[in-house]
Amino acid sequence: MNEGAGVSEAAANIGVVGLAVMGANLSRNLASREGNTVAVFNRSPQRTEALVAAHPEAQFVPAFTYEEFAASLQKPRTAVIMVQAGAATDATIDALVDVFEPGDIIVDGGNAYFPDTIRRERAVRATGINFVGAGISGGEEGALNGPSIMPGGSDEAWQTLGPILRSIAAVAEGEPCVTHVGHDGAGHFVKMVHNGIEYADMQLIAEAYDLIRRGTGKSPAEIADIFAEWNDGELESYLIEITAEVLRQNDAATGKPLVDVILDQAGAKGTGAWTVQTALALGVPVSGIAEATFARSLSSHPEQRAAASSLPGPSEQPAVADEAAFIEDVRQALYASKIVAYSQGFDEIRAGAAEYGWTIDLGAISRIWRAGCIIRAQFLNRIADAYAAESDLALLMSAPYFAEALAKSQEAWRRVVVHATGAGIPAPAFSSSLAYYDGLRAERLPAALVQGQRDFFGAHTYRRTDRPGSFHTLWSGDRSEISA
Ligand SMILES: NC(=O)c1ccc[n+]([C@@H]2O[C@H](COP(=O)([O-])OP(=O)(O)OC[C@H]3O[C@@H](n4cnc5c(N)ncnc54)[C@H](OP(=O)(O)O)[C@@H]3O)[C@@H](O)[C@H]2O)c1
């Protein structure tokens, strides 16, 4: 099949390199849109041959060398890389740079860490070729039917790329789920935070399930009904919907609920950790995302869990007197904690934009997450409304809609955290979100004492509430205060 596959004229307006599940589906999605002719290339030719044979309707233009691939593309050439993140991406970029020309566009649609994207963009730009790091969310299904796309890169690249990406993106309320996020690594940064929020959302849902199961003794199938009902209200989202599906599933081999035979050790591919590491470096408290990431780590240490299994829990279990009221409390606690997780995530994007010099429209980000991605939810419309009313909102959870929702649910939230603590049920994301809420709204924080301690052992100085300047107490002297 390689024979004769050489392309004598530039027939394609877009190309895809890397034809594993994501690349193959994205190629098919591109080919299905009016006006697109798609060139396809994969390091191992078998994948290219298999894709072209399986989908004659797509009329792919196959290429078997990078030279053929470049020759098959109209100028400016535009190619989307969908290969393994890391070294494979670097190798593919180098190969494309060798055969592309100034003005052409290389898009990395993989899950790159944003500092890598910043580095790659700088290196590729020096050759005159445009480089766009684009976060693509929605997994295999999204790639095929319409993902949420978060492209970075230059304005020039966006001119060419925008219409193509708009044609393949998911659509929410008539709007394609793609926006030019900002320059260089902005797209992959936003995709990273998207994944961090996804971690928090999943952990919060898991805690809600655990609290209801242990508090009421309901079966997974019964709890599936509760989640299905919640999905008709303000919690409506893809993750709530699939939670009901997972809880309803029985294991064919044992007849037990599938959730009871799945090993309770959660995996991670690292985007949650990146979100938390980046937030730590930026000084942004993303406690919900961090707790969710740590909860996965905690679950995956069987030796420590075995060692801790004999440690005592509460001697008495708090009773759940009114099941319906308890379940409603858990729903409200979930909604409140979710508001905190999103508020923290948007805060990280705001801080990242300030640090890296990106102009990011937070309202546009919430709108492109409404379809095609894993955290798609009704709720994102409320976030879009909040940023439409005040684009430089300092704190999402203080916007009127969210402030009101938190005011309505905070008592229930506290009851749930008290119940969890009393019953010895771990609810780290629920409780840390509540602590964050209380921390931010506190008039005075014990940070004053921390400053005193820092000054005592390290002469780090402190500021006073009643006059400007920095001060130090002569702790090992006469304990008088001096200006520092
Ligand atoms: N799977 C998902 O749900 C999902 C969701 C969002 C984003 N992503 C991202 O999308 C990208 C593709 O994901 P995937 O699951 O489809 O594939 P993958 O398993 O991550 O990567 C396989 C692809 O990478 C190619 N590859 C590996 N090493 C290479 C090298 N040194 N040079 C050139 N090509 C090389 C493979 O080519 P060969 O066939 O020759 O081995 C194959 O086409 C990844 O960055 C992933 O993180 C995945």
Confidence of residue 188 (pLDDT cuts 50, 70, 90): very high
pLDDT > 50? residue 4: no
Q: Does residue 198 have an active-site annotation?
A: yes
Buried b (16+ CB within 10 A) or exposed e, 326-345: bbebbbbbbbbbbbbbbbbb
Quickly tell me which residue has 């309803």 as its tokens.
248
pLDDT tens, position by position, 346-387: 999 999 999 999 999 999 999 999 999 999 998 999 999 999
Distance 386 CA to ligand 1 centre (A): 37
**pLDDT for the residue 456:** 98
Q: How far is the CA of 75 from the centre of ligand 1 (A)?
A: 26
Average of pLDDT values for 18-31? Answer: 97
Please tell me the residue having the least CA distance from ligand 1 atom 28: 88
- HSE-CB for 286 with a 13 A CA cutoff: 37
Given a cut of 60, whether residue 57 has pLDDT beyond it is: yes
- Give me ligand 1 centre to Cα 178, in Å: 22
**What is d(CA 175, CA 152) in angstroms, rounded to the nearest whole number?**
19
Residue 10 has a pLDDT of 83
At 147-172, the pLDDT tens digits run 999 999 999 999 999 999 999 999 99
Phi and psi at residue 15, in whole multiples of 5°?
-130, 155
Catalytic residue, candidates 121, 198, 207, 291: 198
The pLDDT of residue 361: 97
Distance between CA atoms of 81 and 134, rounded to whole angstroms?
A: 10
The active-site residue, picked from 191, 207, 338, 348, is: 191
- pLDDT, tens only, 233-263: 999 999 999 999 999 999 999 999 999 999 9
- Cα 305 to Cα 7, 122, 297: the distances in Å are 59, 46, 11
Residue 42 and residue 105 in contact, taking contact as beta carbons nearer than 8 Å = no
Residue 6 has pLDDT above 80, yes or no: no
Residue type at position 354: A
Ligand 1, residue 147: give the atom nearest the CA: 6
Indicate if 481 belongs to the active site: no
Answer whether 421's CB lies under 8 Å from 431's CB. Answer: yes
Please state, for a pLDDT cut of 70, what percent of the chain lies above it. 98
Cis before 446 (ω within 30): no
> From ligand 1's centre to the CA of 108, what distance in Å?
11
Residue closest by Cα to atom 17 of ligand 1:
20
Burial of 268 by CB count in 10 Å (0-12 exposed, 13-18 middle, 19+ buried)? middle
pTM of the model: 0.95
Burial of 476 (0-12, 13-18, 19+ CB in 10 A): exposed
Question: Within 10 A of 135 (CB to CB), how many other CB atoms are there?
Answer: 30
Asked if residue 470 lies in contact with residue 481, where contact means CB atoms within 8 angstroms, the answer is: no
No. of helices (H) and no. of strands (E), the chain: 20, 12
Query: Would you place residue 1 in the very low, low, confident or very high pLDDT band (cuts 50, 70, 90)?
Result: very low
Length of the chain: 484
Q: What is the pLDDT of residues 404-448, one digit of tens each?
A: 999 999 999 999 999 999 999 999 999 999 999 999 999 999 999
pLDDT band at 9 (very low <50, low <70, confident <90, very high): confident
Core vs surface per residue 458-470: b (16+ CB within 10 A) or e = eeebbeeeeeeee
Tokens representing 318 are 């708090």
* The residue type at 155: D
Q: How far apart are CA 202 and CA 208, in angstroms?
A: 10
